[in-house]
Amino acid sequence: MPTVSSEELAAAAGVNSAKLRKDFSYLGSYGTRGVGYDVEYLVYQISRELGLTQDWPVVIVGIGNLGAALANYGGFASRGFRVAALIDADPQMAGKPVAGMPVQHTDELERIIQDNGVSIGVIATPAGAAQQVCDRLVAAGVTSILNFAPTVLTVPDGVDVRKVDLSIELQILAFHEQRKAGEEAADTMPAVAARKQPADKGPDGDVPAVMPA
């Protein structure tokens, strides 16, 4: 399929075709009237705009179950992320291979960041260690942090933090589950709970690509 129309893409994504065209138009005029969008060219332009064509070295700090899961996560490489190092505070872990890569000790953190020009760090440590690790990452030059620890991190201006709370997704499901259960009683429910919502979005959410209602 060498080209797609906004209509086809919109249907696949579950959005309005006008919205899709308007969104694309902010990136430039990459379509051809009467024809549609050249798939390969479009993919490249969007990838470039999103930064997927760059190589982003990242470090993962805290190689417990979650850190190991992240290290093994296949989706990273295909999106331009390269795991530059796995770091853990436990000396027992040092040298152990995880996802085909030896775990390094926290002592090496600063050197690793600098040697690899890492600007993105992933924190998968226990809550208690997160802020400290964060501070060291920032001091070493990291300017974006993905935080899986259940703590709110404090960072200086200019540093971005995104927090992933795995239980929030469950909470959203439970919220809808609750509504399903009390559907017939909808009239007596508060406005918020009763309001029908158009397929609400996940964390990828801003990527409705395929979110079934």
Binding site for NAD(+): what residues are annotated? 62-67
79, 56 contact by CB (below 8 A): no
Interface residues for DNA in 32-61 (CB under 7 A)?
32-37
Exactly one of 81, 84, 106, 131 binds a copy of itself (CB under 8 A); that residue is: 81
Determine the interface stretch with a copy of itself among 34-42, 49-57, 108-116, 130-138 (rule: CB under 8 A).
49-57
Determine the interface stretch with a copy of itself among 13-21, 106-114, 128-136, 158-166 (rule: CB under 8 A).
158-166
Q: Which does 19 bind (CB under 5 to 8 A by kind): a copy of itself, DNA, none?
A: DNA
Minimum gap (Å) between residue 152 Cβ and DNA: 21
Nearer Cβ to a copy of itself, position 92 or 167?
A: 167
The sheet that has 81-88: what strands, in order across it? Answer: 97-98, 101-105, 81-88, 56-61, 120-123, 144-147, 160-163
Interface residues for DNA in 192-211 (CB under 7 A)?
210
| Interface with a copy of itself: number of residues (CB under 8 A) | 76
Place of tokens 């001091």: 139
> Does 121 participate in binding DNA (rule CB under 7 A)?
no
Nearer Cβ to DNA, position 4 or 164?
A: 4
Residue 161, CB half-sphere, CA atoms under 13 Å: how many?
A: 20
Rounded to an integer, what distance in angstroms lies between the CA atom of residue 89 and that of residue 99? 18
Determine the residue type at 106.
T
Nearer Cβ to DNA, position 39 or 77?
A: 39
Name the residue among 110, 175, 121 with its Cα closest to residue 147.
Answer: 121
Strands (E), the chain: 3-4, 31-32, 36-38, 56-61, 81-88, 97-98, 101-105, 120-123, 144-147, 160-163
Torsion of CA 89, 91, 93, 94, to 10 degrees: 100
Q: x/- contact string, 124-153, with a copy of itself (CB under 8 A)?
A: -------------------xxxx---x-x-
Torsion of CA 93, 97, 101, 103, to 10 degrees: 0
Minimum gap (Å) between residue 211 Cβ and a copy of itself: 5
Contacts with DNA, residue ranges (CB under 7 A): 4-7, 15-19, 21-22, 24-25, 29-37, 210, 212-213
